[in-house]
Every structure is written in C-alpha cells, then in structure tokens.
C-alpha cells in the first residue's frame, strides 16, 4: 500500500491555469483543416473556424493558445496575414513540408479562434528573419487603443478595438530553427527586440518571454538569464519525450510499439522534473524571489509520423501511453508551481501529441484530451504539499479549491496495480467520487471508426473512504482522478 500524506495547511502555491495551455502552429493540418476550414466550407463553422473542434475545446477550458509557431514563427511576416483573403501573399512553409501557406489564417482569424474558445493570447514574434520594426508594429497593431498608424489599419481591416495579448515570445528556438544563435548573441538581440515590444495598454502589460534552452542546455539558460534577466518575465523550455533518441535514426511508432518503447518513453518524459529543477536552480541565481517563469511552451511525446503521411506534417496517433505522459507532465508542473506558470502542449490538433484529430469533417478526441478534461479542477486551484512512498511508476498531485480536493494519479507501470491511501491531516472526508482512463492494451486509442475506445469512466471499484482517508486502487496504464468533499 502506497501512502500519500496530504498536508492541508501547507500550500505549494496556486496552480496557474495557464499550465494547461496549448500550442497551434502553421504545421501540417493543425491550423488548416484542423481549426480553420474557411467560411465557405461544407464543414460546419463560424467565421471559418470549425464548430465541432471549438465545442470540444470549450469543454476543456483552454486557458491560453500559443501561435503561430514554433519554427514557423521565425519565418512568419504578420502583414502577409491581414487584409482581404484573396489579396494575401502566399509563402513556402519551409520548415514543414515545403507546402504553400496562403495566409488565410492570420492575426484576425487567430483572435476570432480565441474568442470562440475563450482562451488568452500567446503570440510568438519573429526574431530569426523579422525586423525590430515588424515586431513593434505587430504589437501596436494588436494592442494599441485609439489612433495610430497600426490601430487605424486594424480598424480598416474590420477590428476597431484592440485585442488583449497576455504573453509575447521574442523568437523561438533561436539556438536552432530560429537562427542558430549562440546564447550571448541571442541575449543581446532579445534585449534589443523587447525594447520595442511596448505596453500600449498599461492596465494589461505584456508578459515577455525569452527563448530558453533546448532540453538540458543549462549554459543557454545561464547566459540568457545573466544578460537579459532584468528584461524578461519568462524564459522558455522545450522538452519532447521520445521512445528512441534522434541519433538512433528513428523515434518509434505511436501505435504497435513494443513494451520497451513504453518504458523508454516514460523515462524520457520523467526527465522533465530534472530539467525544471536544474533550470530553476540557475534562474534562482539571478531571480531568487522567483518572479520570472520557466515557461514550458513545447512539451509532449514525439513519434515517427503515421505511415503514408507527409513526414513534414508530424501527424501521429495518440494512445493510453500518451495519456500517461500527459498526466505525468502535468503532475511535474504542479510540483513546481513556484516556477512553472505557463506551459503549452504540442500541439492542439493533428500534430504531435494532439488533443484532437480530424479527417475531413470527422473529429475524434484523443486520450490526452481526456486527461485535460479529468484535470480541469486543478486549474487555478491550490497545489498542496504531499509526502508519499508511492511505487516508482505512480505519481500524484493534490489540489484544493472551493472546499473540495482533486486527487489525480497516474500509474504508468505496465503490469502491477497500485493500492494508494491518501491521508488528510485535518479535513473530514464526506465523499469521494472517481473517474478512470484505462485500457488493457498498451496502444489503445480512439479513431474515426471507434472514437470511444479510451474514454473516462466512473471508478466503481477500488475506491473507498473513511473520515480522514481515501483509498484507491489504480490499475497499470491508467490515469485516475478523485473528487473529494
Ligand atoms: O512542435 C514542432 C516543432 O518543434 C516546433 O516548430 C519547434 O519549435 C520544435 O522544434
């Protein structure tokens, strides 16, 4: 029996709901086909944005959506994506399949998507191939109220009111696809570009995010924090979990994989904890009061693409294994609430560890989607400190909100169920209701012919409680949530 002691009087801090953020890039069928079908489409849509996907996303309360990339961001010139659609310039999407980008989804369409799903904006600006003036004018175009050249242009394009921009990223992966820079050079560029990312709305200042490290590049974090620390509010971290590391020439398949690839993927997913711990320790040197965030704005599992699909489109299936990766990562973020205030799973639709898959007019919710749904009550709740002796393949997070508690746990072991008892220090338990996401097959997934293979179900066995404790049995390859009053 694993035991989790919950110290109801020792909050770790607020779980910023923005750690449940998502990412949508002009990549493969994420934007085009997945989110945007255009107003003329036969697929039901509102102002060009598909209604089935919006309805699904509203149910999981997406707090924030990062756009337009990723690598795409450092080739994106925002002025190509405004004005009448038929006059928008096309470009080649060099990073992702070399396809033609028609720029029909641009700034106005992005904010319309945000309006429909109720999410806040996280815009990633172009440092790699864009000018300072271009970045300054984009921010002015989006956020300036009143009269200015860019505000007037926005009004001419049909939107007199400014939009709120919560987060602004200055470059993406500037150590790689964003310009192959060295950290000291990027830090200087960051200082320069961010100077012109102005706060036109002093009531809602932008949270400025610098490009951070790839995985365990601690030198990058140190250099950027040392030189640009006073000018940034957050620094990003990208970590994808892979069953095989890229030097092996393959990543592994999303389905039909052997057991050792389950284990190696989980080991790589677990590394997120060490990465956050060590990057945070570097940040502590320059920001001991933890005012700045470590922003995990790309995370998730990355496999070989589905056979027969465009290698540049990064389309992969999503199984109960991905659900376990998601639960594990979200638990890790919640253990680091003091530093991690924003995170964005990659990506929202049809790309990498997607929440939703589409094919023409069909749509399916993935097991990862259901984890986000089951964890909803964690958003903006207070994370509580726990002490546990859980088996190595079981992790948990406990939060409190409105007089109730959410206990979430994942068992990413392949064989053994785990019995877990949660002991409250002071709370008197009145009720406990659970849900489980589980499948006996390692690669169980939802597809267009069988959309409900992996869906949450009420936890009817193995859940009991008394006045001060809740006991639950979690099978292997499962995610469980328990709402306690
Ligand atoms: O999410 C896919 C790609 O992964 C992003 O464009 C890039 O930032 C990262 O390398």
40 is catalytic: no
pLDDT at position 282 is 98
Give yes or no for residue 183 CB within 6 A of ligand 1: no
pLDDT in tens, 143-156: 999 999 999 999 99
Kindly give the distance from the C-alpha atom of residue 70 to the centroid of ligand 1, in angstroms, as a whole number: 5
Give yes or no for residue 172 CB within 6 A of ligand 1: yes
Atom 8 of ligand 1: nearest residue by CA position: 70
pLDDT in tens, 35-56: 999 999 999 999 999 999 999 9
Q: What pLDDT band is residue 7 in, cutting at 50, 70 and 90? A: confident
Kindly give the distance from the C-alpha atom of residue 320 to the centroid of ligand 1, in angstroms, as a whole number: 23
Kindly give the distance from the C-alpha atom of residue 357 to the centroid of ligand 1, in angstroms, as a whole number: 18
Give yes or no for residue 435 CB within 6 A of ligand 1: no
pLDDT in tens, 407-425: 999 999 999 999 999 999 9
Q: What pLDDT band is residue 8 in, cutting at 50, 70 and 90? A: confident
Q: Is the pLDDT of residue 246 over 80?
A: no
Q: Is the pLDDT of residue 382 over 90?
A: yes
Rg, C-alpha atoms of the chain:
22
Backbone angles phi, psi at 2, to 5 degrees: -85, 145
Averaged over 96-117, what is the pLDDT?
Answer: 98
Q: What pLDDT band is residue 203 in, cutting at 50, 70 and 90? A: confident
pLDDT at position 10 is 85
Domains and their CATH numbers in the chain: 17-379 (3.20.20.80), 387-484 (2.60.40.1180)
Atom 3 of ligand 1: nearest residue by CA position: 70
Q: What is the 3-state secondary structure (H, E, C) of the chain?
A: CEEEEEEEEEEEEECCHHHHEEECCCCCCCCECCCECCCCCCCCEECCEEHHHHHHHHCCCCCEEEECCCHHHHHCCHHHHCCCHHHCCCEEECCCCCEEECCCCCHHHHHHHHHHHCCEEEEEECCCCCCHHHHHHHHHHHHCCCCCHHHHHHHHCCCCCCCCCCEEEECCCCCCCCCCCCHHHHHHHHHHHHHCCCCCCCCCCCEEEECCCECCCHHHHHHHHHHHHHHCCEEEEEEEECCCCHHHCCCCCCCCCCHHHHHHHHHHHHHHHHHHHHHHHHHHHHCCCCCCEEEEEEEEECCCCCCCCCHHHCCCCCEHHHHHHHHHHHHHHHHCCCCCCEEEEECCECCCCCCEEEECCEEEECHHHHHHHHCHHHCCCEEEEEEECCCCCEEEEEEEECCEEEEEEEECCCCCCEEEEEEECCCCCCCEEEEEEECCCCCCECCCCCCCCCCCEECCCCEEECCCEEEEEECCCEEEEEEEC
Averaged over 299-309, what is the pLDDT?
Answer: 97
pLDDT at position 221 is 98
Give yes or no for residue 342 CB within 6 A of ligand 1: no
Q: Is the pLDDT of residue 263 over 90?
A: yes
Atom 9 of ligand 1: nearest residue by CA position: 70
Q: Quick check: 345 and 368 in contact, CB under 8 A?
A: yes
Tell me the best of 22, 67, 71, 237 to mutate to test the pocket of ligand 1, counting ligand atoms within 8 Å of each CB and taking the most: 71
Give yes or no for residue 69 CB within 6 A of ligand 1: yes
pLDDT at position 1 is 86
Average pLDDT, the chain: 97
From CA 424, how far away is CA 231, in angstroms rounded?
Answer: 42
Backbone angles phi, psi at 166, to 5 degrees: -80, -45
pLDDT at position 204 is 87
Q: Is the pLDDT of residue 198 over 90?
A: yes
Ligand 1, residue 73: give the atom nearest the CA: 6
Give yes or no for residue 68 CB within 6 A of ligand 1: no
Averaged over 331-351, what is the pLDDT?
Answer: 98
Q: Which residue in 109, 137, 298, 435 is the catalytic one?
A: 298
Q: Quick check: 20 and 372 in contact, CB under 8 A?
A: yes
Q: Is the pLDDT of residue 248 over 90?
A: no
Ligand 1, residue 347: give the atom nearest the CA: 1
Model's pTM, two decimal places? Answer: 0.97
Give yes or no for residue 354 CB within 6 A of ligand 1: no
Q: What pLDDT band is residue 249 in, cutting at 50, 70 and 90? A: confident
Averaged over 209-234, what is the pLDDT?
Answer: 97
101 is catalytic: no
pLDDT at position 245 is 76
pLDDT at position 60 is 98
Q: Is the pLDDT of residue 9 over 90?
A: no
pLDDT at position 33 is 98
Kindly give the distance from the C-alpha atom of residue 230 to the centroid of ligand 1, in angstroms, as a whole number: 27
Q: What pLDDT band is residue 297 in, cutting at 50, 70 and 90? A: very high
Q: Which residue in 25, 173, 270, 435 is the catalytic one?
A: 173
pLDDT at position 54 is 98
Q: Quick check: 168 and 197 in contact, CB under 8 A?
A: yes
Atom 4 of ligand 1: nearest residue by CA position: 70
């Amino acid at each position: 029996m694993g035991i989790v002691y919950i110290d109801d009087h020792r909050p770790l801090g607020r779980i910023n709901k923005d750690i449940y953020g998502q990412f949508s890039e002009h990549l493969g069928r994420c934007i085009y086909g997945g989110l945007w079908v255009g107003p003329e489409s036969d697929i039901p849509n509102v102002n060009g944005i598909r209604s089935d996907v919006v309805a699904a996303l509203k149910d999981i309360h997406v707090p924030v959506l990062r756009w337009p990339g990723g690598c795409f961001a450092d080739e994106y010139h925002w002025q190509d994506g405004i004005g009448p659609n038929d006059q928008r310039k096309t470009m080649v999407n060099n990073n992702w399949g070399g396809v033609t980008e028609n720029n029909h989804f641009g700034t106005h369409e992005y904010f319309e998507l945000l309006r429909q799903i109720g999410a806040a904006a996280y815009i990633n600006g172009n440092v790699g191939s864009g000018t300072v003036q271009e970045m300054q004018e984009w921010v002015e175009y989006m956020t300036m109220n009143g009269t200015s050249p860019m505000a007037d242009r926005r009004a001419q394009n049909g939107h007199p009111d400014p939009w709120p921009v919560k987060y602004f990223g200055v470059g993406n992966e500037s150590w790689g696809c964003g310009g192959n820079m060295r950290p000291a050079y990027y830090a200087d560029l960051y200082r320069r570009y961010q100077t012109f990312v102005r706060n036109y709305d002093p009531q809602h200042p932008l949270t400025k995010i610098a490009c951070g490290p790839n995985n365990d590049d601690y030198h990058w974090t140190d250099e950027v924090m040392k030189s640009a620390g006073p000018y940034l509010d957050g620094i990003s971290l990208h970590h994808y979990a892979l069953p095989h590391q890229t030097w092996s020439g393959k990543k592994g398949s999303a389905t039909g994989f052997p057991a050792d690839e389950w284990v190696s993927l989980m080991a790589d997913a677990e590394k997120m904890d060490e990465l956050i711990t060590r990057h945070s320790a570097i940040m502590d040197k320059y920001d001991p009061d933890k005012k700045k965030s470590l922003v995990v704005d790309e995370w998730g599992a990355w496999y070989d693409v589905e056979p027969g699909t465009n290698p540049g489109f990064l389309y992969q299936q999503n199984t109960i294994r991905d659900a376990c990766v998601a639960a594990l990562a979200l638990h890790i973020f919640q253990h680091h609430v003091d530093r991690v205030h924003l995170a964005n799973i990659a990506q929202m639709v049809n790309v990498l560890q997607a929440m939703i898959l589409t094919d023409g007019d069909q749509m399916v919710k993935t097991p990862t989607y259901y984890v986000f749904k089951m964890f909803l009550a964690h958003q903006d709740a207070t994370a509580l400190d726990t002490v546990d002796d859980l088996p190595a393949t079981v992790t948990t997070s406990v939060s409190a909100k409105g007089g109730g508690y959410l206990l979430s746990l994942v068992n990413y072991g392949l064989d053994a169920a785990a019995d877990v008892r949660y002991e409250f220090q002071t709370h008197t338990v009145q009720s406990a209701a659970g849900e489980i996401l589980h499948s006996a097959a390692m690669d169980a997934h939802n597809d267009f012919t069988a959309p409900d293979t992996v869906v949450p179900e009420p936890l009817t066995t193995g859940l009991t409680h008394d006045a001060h404790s809740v006991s639950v049995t979690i099978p292997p390859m499962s995610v469980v949530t328990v709402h306690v009053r």
